[in-house]
């Protein structure tokens, strides 16, 4: 596998408040140091540290020395004993000031070796029954070291709530993209938002009606105009109304910005869920550009709306009955069928580092990776300017 075939994605690591504290970098080919110049690292993880996993060979070759210690955490998830050369190599990393992340499956004597180093213990919670997990966490707390404990593979909100009860320091998994609890109907306090979202997504809604709807929502129109007038957008003149914004940026961009702001206004959901939606939206749109005759706006909408069930804690099928979407978008969101569904399937597989499912109508790996990177950049720009 050549350099151009390498794929690289990021997996959020959350703190107790469900804020992103780091991103784990995952690839279909290790090691990944060749891909990570400092600008490339910044492009993937932004202001957060990146967790980079070391192979035994990369550890022996000291490839980690090319990474700025202020920007990375170094993970080593292979077994070792205190007398092994690996232990000496890990202590060298710690002596240079790099934060370490190691497996919670190590024997206690190996973990005790790292007691004086800044490190995190990563524990795969799927390997334990609840009582055994509670006992394991208690044992790790007995080490009395500087260590933090990371719960990995937390894929449901039930798992998250149980792990929170055990007071893990960090959490990682796909729980954020899934409903916290299933309701059979949309909560009454969310119906107003759904109605506005419905108008935004309906291509038959007159432009004048959308202008009026957005203008009446004062927080929404204020944030839109503030972003439109920001240096990030760099419009040739100041925007003084929603109607003026439509003339300068176009209806489709206004729909996208307004939809992102509406989704972000769901108060009890972490901001990272909106970032995930934006990355999906842009990557689906970029993939859709390669499909002859396709409307790329439909690809973007599918990616953006793919988190609706997680945002509203309601089945996707129920939510879609309230939205006037095309049959193609609905089929993509529910069944992952059609070109839009294939783009969404590829995008989510890439997001989760399910490399065997990362394919889109014969597209080579390098362009798919480039589209993912561009999607992250686009999402970062929107979240920093529009959603703050």
Sign of torsion over alpha carbons 106, 109, 110, 115: positive
Which of 177, 204, 231 is where one domain is finished? Answer: 177
Long-range contacts of 177-182 (CB under 8 A, 24+ apart): 177/273, 177/276, 177/307, 177/310, 178/309, 178/310, 179/309, 179/310, 179/312, 179/313, 179/314, 179/315, 180/310, 180/313, 181/157, 181/313, 182/313, 182/314, 182/315
| 196 and 169 within one domain | no
Clarify whether residues 234 and 376 are in a common domain.
yes
Give the torsion sign (CA, 40, 42, 45, 49): positive
131 and 223 in a single domain? The answer is: no
Question: Tokens 């990563």 correspond to what residue?
Answer: 122
Predicted confidence at residue 1, as pLDDT, reads: 44
pLDDT of residue 44: 93
147 alpha-carbon distance from chain centroid: 25
- How much is the pLDDT for 184? 64
Same domain, 38 and 113: yes
Q: How far apart (Å, rounded) are the C-alpha atoms in residues 99 and 258? A: 40
CA gap 160, 167 in Å, rounded: 10
Question: Within this chain, do residues 258 and 371 fall inside the same structural domain, yes or no?
Answer: yes
Per DSSP, what are the bridge partners of residue 27? 8
Question: What is the distance, to the nearest Å, from the Cα of residue 333 to the centroid of all Cα atoms in its chain?
Answer: 18
Domain of 68, in residue numbers? 3-177
Does residue 102 sit within a domain?
yes
183 within some domain: no
Cβ atoms 133, 166 nearer than 8 A? yes
Residue 7 falls inside a structural domain: yes
239 and 270 co-located in one domain: yes
Of 177, 210, 229, which residue is a domain's last?
Answer: 177
Task: Judge if 171 and 194 occupy the same domain.
Answer: no
If asked whether residues 168 and 247 sit together in one domain, one would say no
Low-confidence ranges of the chain (pLDDT < 50): 1-2
Q: Are residues 341 and 223 in the same domain?
A: yes
* Residue 52 to residue 94: CA distance in whole angstroms: 15
- Encode burial over 57-95: b for 16+ CB neighbours within 10 A, e otherwise: ebbeeebbeebeeebbbbbbbeebeeeeebeebbeebbe
Query: Does pTM surpass 0.85?
Result: yes
Residue 32's CATH number: 3.20.20.450
Do 222 and 319 belong to one domain? yes
- Cα separation of 27 and 51, whole Å? 12
Residue 37, pLDDT score: 78
**Which of 148, 177, 206 finishes a domain?**
177
68-120: per-residue pLDDT in tens? 999 999 999 999 999 999 999 999 999 999 999 999 999 988 998 888 777 89
pLDDT at 262: 85
Structure tokens at 194: 């759904």
* CA dihedral angle for residue 156, residue 162, residue 168, residue 169, rounded to 10 degrees: 50
Note whether 231 and 337 are same-domain residues: yes
Question: What are the beta bridge partners of residue 12?
Answer: 23
> Exposed/middle/buried for 150, CB within 10 Å: 0-12, 13-18, 19+?
buried
Where residue 257 sits, what CATH number does that domain have?
A: 1.10.3210.10
Domain count within the chain: 2
Q: Is residue 182 part of a domain?
A: no
Distances from the Cα of 217 to the Cαs of 110, 191, 194, 242, in angstroms? 58, 15, 14, 11
Cβ atoms of 292 and 304 closer than 8 Å: no
Do 24 and 124 belong to one domain? yes
Query: pLDDT digits over 361-381, tens only?
Result: 999 999 999 999 999 999 998
CA 379 to chain centre: 10
Distance CA 304, CA 351 (A): 14
């Amino acid at each position: 596998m050549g350099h151009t075939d390498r794929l690289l994605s990021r997996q959020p690591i959350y703190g107790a408040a469900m804020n992103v504290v780091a991103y784990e970098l995952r690839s279909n080919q290790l090691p990944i140091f060749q891909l990570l110049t400092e600008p490339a690292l910044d492009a993937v993880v932004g202001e957060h540290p990146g967790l980079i996993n070391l192979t035994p060979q990369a550890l022996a070759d000291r490839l980690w020395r090319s990474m700025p210690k202020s920007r990375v955490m170094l993970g080593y998830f292979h077994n070792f004993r205190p007398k092994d050369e690996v232990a000496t190599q890990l202590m060298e990393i710690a002596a240079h000031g790099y934060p370490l992340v190691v497996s919670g499956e190590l024997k206690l004597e190996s973990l005790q070796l790292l007691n004086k180093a800044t490190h995190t213990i990563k524990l795969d919670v799927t390997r334990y029954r609840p009582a055994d997990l509670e006992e394991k966490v208690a044992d790790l707390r007995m080490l009395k070291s500087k260590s933090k404990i990371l719960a990995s593979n937390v894929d449901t909100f039930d798992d998250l709530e149980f792990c929170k009860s055990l007071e893990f320091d960090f959490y990682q998994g796909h729980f954020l993209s899934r409903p916290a609890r299933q309701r059979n109907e949309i909560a009454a306090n969310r119906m107003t938002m759904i109605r506005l979202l419905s108008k935004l997504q309906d291509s038959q809604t007159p432009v004048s009606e959308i202008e009026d709807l957005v203008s009446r929502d004062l927080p929404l129109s204020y944030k839109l105009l503030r972003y439109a007038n920001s240096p990030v957008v760099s419009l040739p003149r100041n925007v003084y109304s929603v109607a003026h914004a439509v003339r300068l940026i176009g209806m489709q961009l206004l729909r996208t910005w307004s939809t992102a702001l509406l989704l972000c206004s769901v108060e009890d959901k972490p901001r990272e869920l909106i970032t995930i939606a934006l990355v999906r939206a842009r990557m689906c749109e970029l993939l859709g550009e390669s499909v002859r005759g396709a409307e790329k706006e439909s690809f973007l909408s599918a990616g953006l709306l793919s988190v609706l069930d997680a945002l509203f804690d309601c089945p996707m099928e129920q939510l879609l009955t309230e939205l006037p979407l095309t049959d193609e978008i609905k089929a993509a969101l529910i069944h992952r069928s059609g070109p839009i569904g294939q783009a969404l399937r590829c995008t989510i597989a890439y997001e989760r580092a399910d490399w065997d499912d990362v394919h889109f109508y014969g597209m080579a790996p390098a362009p798919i990776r480039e589209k993912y990177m561009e999607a992250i950049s686009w999402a970062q720009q929107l979240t920093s300017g529009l959603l703050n």
